[in-house]
Amino acid sequence: MTFELLLFLAAGLFSIGLFGALSQQSIVMIMMGIELMIGGIIVAAADFWHFLAPTGSGQVVIVAAVVAMAVEMAMGFAVTTAIYRARQVDMTDMAEDLKG
């Protein structure tokens, strides 16, 4: 049952992060939501590794998720810096020029 409960935890983290990523206006807060979503993916991957596939490749999935987290954070900060420097914008609603 622990296996299912940990997946439940992962689903909870993913959904909380998804809510944040969809609802927040601030670019930095959206990044926080994405971080939580990837946190959920890491929990699920560790759970699968422990209970179903305790192989090296299973651990590599977690490594890839951690790298995705780092890339998201670095590029997010860089984009925030660039758009704030160009237009003093730090909210998504103020950067909707391409909105249809």
Residues that bind another protein (CB under 8 A): 2-20, 22-26, 28-29, 31-33, 35-36, 39, 42-43, 46-47, 49-57, 59-60, 62-64, 66-67, 69-71, 73-75, 77-82, 84-85, 90-93
Closest to another protein by CB, 19 or 97: 19
Nearest to 69 by CA among 96, 95, 45: 45
Rounded to whole angstroms, the Cα distance separating 84 from 91 reads 9
Closest to another protein by CB, 69 or 97: 69
Dihedrals phi, psi of 91, to nearest 5 degrees: -125, 145
